[in-house]
Structure 1
């Protein structure tokens, strides 16, 4: 069973304006299976690298800044540690913050994984995410003018857009 009380991270940025809307607290998760050519964070790929922090300590650090709009989960691949990130997301939302999650998977791939019924943490993290930025980084599609993204194949998907995508595939998603 995955540990829901601790996260393996490559870094924490306490104040960012480039990783989602408003002033963000950013957790860079450690571990990534995608291996995107030209990745901005290649040091995050090794699943055994980085450092471990407990959820309580992360939340205490988040609480130090009342100006934060919310938390951003970046990586690495956040969905590798969905359970512990759910614990952070639930508590940030309870404090009035929002959740942005970056992933190298597409929303459709994540949704299909949740439909198998054996990955409830992925389903829950999708539910808790206000803005999903999906898709692998594609170096040939790099565009420095894009808001919050590195390549033009990556999408900014809010809850309404995700519901529409799921409905188009005949799926029931909140």
Structure 2
């Protein structure tokens, strides 16, 4: 499951596996599946805290420089929440930024209404027009900078168009 999440969403969140499974084969599966660290029970809570802090410290160093989503002229520096089109900064409200991030993570693939709503509102049902409103704000902000690459796929969802269209 972790491997699939990392591949599908370009997930960069550090993962510490806490388990009772101590066999080398289990550890190998954990690390090859995308875990950053692996701790076998019994363990002291202080050790979990130390390992978690170390993982967060390393991930912060990486995220400050490494996690950038790009699609044609569109670029999103996740750690700084900085969006640019052809190098010009685009200011977006938080929810519109979240829509853009998910579309960029799945660039070229259709992202369903349900997936976007779950990502934005995490299970809390939004009003019927809330998502459309965020998409409108996003499109409007990007269009000002000459980007019109968000496609509606009728009755399915939205996607970022191929950058060469």
Could you state the TM-score of these two structures normalised by the residue count of structure 1? 0.25
Give the greater-gyration-radius structure (CA).
2
